[in-house]
Amino acid sequence: MLNVIIGRLAPSRGAVVFDGKVLTGKKPHQINQMGVVRVFQTPEIFPELSVLQNVMAPAFAKRDGAFRINIWRSLESERGIEEEANHILQDVGLYERRSHHAGALSRGDKRRMELAMCLIQHPRLLLLDEPTAGMSRHDTNTTIELLKKIKARGMTKVIIEHDMHVVFSLADKISVLAGGRIIAEGLPRRVRRSEKVQEAYLGGAHRLEEATH
Amino acid sequence: MDLFNLPRRDWITFGLFALVVVTMPIWLTPLGASYPGLLQKFAIFAIFAIGFNILFGLTGYLSFGHAAFLGVGSYTAVWSFKLLTMDALPAIMFAVIVSGLFALVIGYLSLRRTGIYFSILTLAFAQMCYNLAYSVLTPITNGETSLQLTLQDPRVIDSALAARPEGLPSASIFGHVFDGFEGFYFCAALLLIAFFIALKIFSSPFGMMLRAIKSNQTRMNYTGFDTKPYALTAFVISGMYAGLAGALLAVTDPLAGAERMQWTASGEVVLMTILGGVGTLIGPVIGAWLIKYFENIFSAFNEQVLTRFFSFLPPEITEPVVTISSKFVGEGWHLTLGLIFVLVVVFLPGGIMEGVRRIGALFRRTTPPSAPAARPAAPTIQPAE
């Protein structure tokens, strides 16, 4: 589902429309430049770069567009972008480790860093694929708090998640998918009561899909 | 001014590098390598390796056909000598532009693929250039006899400015013909400019984007970057460096042969870069110097030299030692180089520069107990479902 929105897979039929513009058939970088940004289920980061550089790179994409030969100024003299990156790293709790190699971070920290990489672009639509998968309960709660904070800033998010704790703490609107079809949709209260959902949820490891606004 | 906007650390690197290059005729004397012909080669192949490293070290695209641009640069420079003037500057300018255009075409086609397919494509293009130079393009390349200056060359600009001198002219700059170490210092000046530009690229946001492409190209795309033009720009820049090196080869010796484009020449620059340290600024330069030193000095050693070298040993040991070690010098210099290469790749995957870094870390560990930042193993990240 997210792969279709983001342009990695083509839909078998139909089209993805965001803000009145068709996303289907566009290249990944074009979709990103339109303000649709994604966090992957397995963190996609730049392992050889430092944490700070990982977060600065997307800011350049936002400021300079998809391609610009920027060799006149050194990285150190890009104060504005560095400050913004530091600020966001403080938000996700990685500021102290900003000069570490990103590849050396723990999986949970990589996820938080990837979230920071997305947030620095101020996306209009943020797509999250199981943002807490594989995290401890404590880390999960920290991430939920973080996502709540982002929600307060008024950014639209789509979250794929099957951890009910996460889903019900964050969602405004939930769609439940089973076997590729929507079996229930609506406010959290109503979805929770739906018989079909209970059956699918108890019957197997079907995914719940949820959207928050 | 933005042109000279560099972090202090990089200025120190540049200062030290400039000092080492300028004093080369002095510190290479005890090593027997301080003669202009070899020093020029040191400077020229350092430029070639620095340029190659901008592509391979930063973006991770391994080109196996970079000698093609070296050859194109040489041919262009010699044609500039033949048709226009013996002045080195226009020759270098044309060579850089023409090899840049060549790189644009070959890069545009090759960069449609990544990994081994990219390497094979560049190798194929280079071998194509090599074979064309011997067959269809002989009117331009003069085939096996190599492109050389002749007395019948028009040299339009020179003829218009002054009477034609007797015999074959040599390359000059504003009418001044290089003499002794001047040719080396001319190449060294260009090496320093080339090194400075590489420093600028390495420390710039553009350089970081190229590193990010090497690190995770998928992430780059989903981060909103169009990675193709980035990689193509790196390819063209590195092709232009090769063109500059090729032009300088022609300036120091006005002759261009197709063997400069052969795949062994392309492989040599790969060796230089890996030996010195991929992705480091100084590494490729050290690699280039080491290989050229071996090729020119080590290959000239013979049994007499070895006997003199081992003369401190008792006479009964000297003979077997000389016999064994003579297999590794002279014609056998490839053997020594191969052994060094294997040792470096096995024990120092980061090249000679990693060895330098490790030694530096050892020294630091003995003084304050600050934890040296070990290079973390980079896990390969699989794309999400």
Residue B71 confidence (pLDDT): 95
pLDDT at position A213, please? 45
User: Which residues, in sequence order, are bridge partners of residue A186?
Assistant: A174
Across the interface, of B10, B377, B381, the residue whose CB is closest to A45 is: B381
Instruction: Answer whether B235's CB lies under 8 Å from A44's CB.
Output: no
What is the C-alpha to C-alpha distance for residues A19 and B370, in angstroms, rounded to an integer? 53
Lowest model confidence (mean pLDDT) among A92-106, A131-145, B353-367, B370-384: B370-384
Contact (CB, 8 A) for B70 and B260: yes
- What is the pLDDT, as a whole number, of residue B150? 86
> Which residues of chain A form beta strands (DSSP E)?
17-18, 21-22, 36-39, 125-129, 156-161, 173-178, 181-186, 208-212
Q: Which helix (H) or strand (E) holds B135?
A: none
Do B238 and B305 lie in one domain? The reply is no
Per the structure, the complete domain to which residue B329 belongs is given by 297-366
Look at residue B40 in the predicted model and tell me its pLDDT: 95
| Residue B246 contacts residue B70 (beta carbons within 8 Å) | yes
Q: Is A172 an 8 Å CB contact of chain B?
A: no
Using CA atoms, how far apart are residues B286 and B42, in angstroms rounded to an integer? 9
User: What is the C-alpha to C-alpha distance for residues B264 and B271, in angstroms, rounded to an integer?
Assistant: 10
CA atoms within 13 A on the CB side of B207: 20
Q: Which two structure tokens, joined as six digits, stand for B302?
A: 């013979």
On whether residue B6 sits in a domain, the answer given is yes
Helices then strands, each counted (H, E), chain B:
18, 4
pLDDT given for residue B374 in this prediction: 41
Q: Is residue B95 in some structural domain?
A: yes
pLDDT score for B384: 38
Going by C-beta distance under 8 Å and a sequence separation of 6 or more, which residues neighbour residue A109?
Answer: A94, A97
Name the one residue in this structure whose structure tokens are 């704790």: A165
Rounded mean pLDDT of A7-25?
A: 79
Nearest to B384 among A33, A44, A56 (CB): A44
Mean pLDDT of chain B: 88
Nearest-angstrom CA–CA distance, B220 and B203? 19
Considering only A177-181, B86-90, B159-163, B372-376, which range has the smallest mean pLDDT? B372-376
- Which SS3 state, helix, strand or coil, does residue B176 take? strand
**DSSP letter assigned to residue B221:** H
What burial class does residue A91 get, using C-beta atoms within 10 Å of its C-beta: 0-12 exposed, 13-18 middle, 19+ buried?
middle
Tokens of B366: 């003995």
pLDDT at B187: 95
Is the Cβ pair B224, A121 closer than 8 Å? yes
Cα→Cα distances B313→B197, B304, B306, B323, Å: 49, 15, 12, 14
| Res A58 pLDDT > 90 | yes
The average confidence (pLDDT) of chain A is 82
Q: What is the pLDDT of residue B367?
A: 59
Q: Which residue has the tokens 């600020």?
A: A87
pLDDT at B1 over 80: no
- The residue-averaged pLDDT of A128-140 equals 79
**Sorting pLDDT into bands at 50, 70 and 90, what band is B370?**
very low
User: Which of A86, A59, A123 has its CA nearest to residue B209?
Assistant: A59
Q: Which of residues 35-54 of A touch B (CB under 8 A)?
A: 37-38, 40-49, 53
Is position B379 within any domain? no
ipTM of the complex, rounded to two decimals: 0.84
Q: Is 50 exceeded by the pLDDT of residue B86?
A: yes
Residues B312, B321: Cα–Cα separation, whole Å: 12
Q: Using the 3D structure, point to which of B235, B252, B281 is the last residue of a domain.
A: B281
pLDDT at B110: 95
pLDDT of residue B211: 95
Amino acid at the residue B78: V
pLDDT at B381 over 70: no
The stretch B256-265 carries a mean pLDDT of 89
Cβ count within 10 A of residue B373:
12
Token code pair at residue B203:
């420390």
Shortest Cα–Cα distance, B235 to chain A (Å): 13
Is there a contact between A207 and A162 (Cβ–Cβ < 8 Å)? yes
B352 lies in some domain:
yes
Q: Are residues B50 and B163 in the same domain?
A: yes
CA angle A9, A10, A14 (to 5 degrees): 140
Higher pLDDT, A12 or B118: B118
CB contact under 8 A, B216 and A42: no
Instruction: Give yes or no for residue B94 having a pLDDT over 90.
Output: yes
Beta strand A125-129 with A36-39: parallel, antiparallel or unpaired?
A: parallel
Burial of B147 (0-12, 13-18, 19+ CB in 10 A): buried
Q: Is pLDDT above 70 for A168? A: yes
Chain-centre distance of CA B349, in angstroms?
Answer: 20
For residue A202, what pLDDT is reported?
A: 56
Q: Are strands A208-212 and A173-178 parallel, antiparallel or unpaired?
A: antiparallel
Percentage above 90 pLDDT, chain B:
58
Q: Which of B209, B224, B379 is closest, CB to CB, to A62?
A: B224
d(CA A43, CA B219): 10
Residues 6+ apart with CB under 8 A from B205: A56, A60, A64, A70, A73, A75, A78
Cα separation, A128 vs B84, in Å, equals: 63
| A42: nearest CB among B208, B225, B381 | B381
Mean pLDDT of A98-106: 91
pLDDT at position B257 is 87
Domain boundary among B255, B281, B307: B281
Instruction: Work out the pLDDT band at A203, boundaries 50, 70, 90.
Output: low
What are residue A209's DSSP bridge partners? A160, A175
- Please state, for a pLDDT cut of 70, what percent of chain A lies above it: 92
Q: Which 59-118 residues of chain A touch chain B by CB within 8 A?
A: 60-62, 64-78, 101, 103-104, 117
Angstroms from A32 CA to nearest CA on chain B: 5
Cβ burial, residue B384 (10 Å; 0-12/13-18/19+): middle
With CA atoms as reference, report the closest residue to A76 among B200, B376, B215, B278: B200
Assign residue A181 a region (left: φ > 0; alpha: ψ between -120 and 50; beta: otherwise): beta
Q: Nearest Cα to B285, choosing from B42, B66, B69? A: B42
- Report how far residue A93's alpha carbon sits from residue A174's, in angstroms, rounded to the nearest whole number: 29
Query: Where is B59: in which H helix or E strand?
Result: none
pLDDT of residue A207: 47
Q: What is the mean pLDDT of residues A181-204?
A: 74
Q: How confident is the model at residue A177, as a pLDDT?
A: 81
Which of these, A8, A2, A44, lies nearest to A27 by C-alpha position?
A8
The predicted structure's pLDDT at residue A109: 87
**Structural domain total, chain B:** 2
- DSSP secondary structure letter of residue A75: G
Q: Rounded to whole angstroms, what are the CA distances from B199 to A35, B117, B189?
A: 33, 30, 15
- From the list A40, A43, A46, the residue facing B215 with the nearest CB is A46
Q: What is the pLDDT of residue B96?
A: 97
- Residue B203: CB atoms within 10 Å: 23
pLDDT value for A153: 75
> Rounded mean pLDDT of A108-131?
88
In a domain, B381, yes or no: no
Nearest CA in chain A to B200: A71
What percent of chain B is modeled with pLDDT above 70?
Answer: 95
Interface of A with B in 4-23 (CB under 8 A): 6
Mean pLDDT, residues B81-108 taken together: 95
**What is the value of pTM for the model shown?**
0.88
Q: Report pLDDT digits (tens) over A26-38.
A: 888 998 998 888 8
Look at residue B51 in the predicted model and tell me its pLDDT: 97
N-term to C-term CA, chain A: 18
**Tokens encoding B42:** 């040191």
- Categorize the per-residue pLDDT at A205 as very low, low, confident or very high, splitting at 50, 70 and 90: very low
Q: How confident is the model at residue B324 (pLDDT cuts 50, 70, 90)?
A: confident
Tokens of B187: 């190449």
Q: Among the listed ranges A49-53, B35-39, B68-72, B368-372, which one has the minimum average pLDDT value?
A: B368-372
* Beta carbons of B13 and B199 less than 8 angstroms apart: yes
Q: How far is A190 from chain B (nearest CA, A)?
A: 30
Neighbours of A21 (CB within 10 A): 11
Q: What pLDDT band is residue A155 in, cutting at 50, 70 and 90?
A: confident
> Is the domain of B234 the same as that of B351?
no
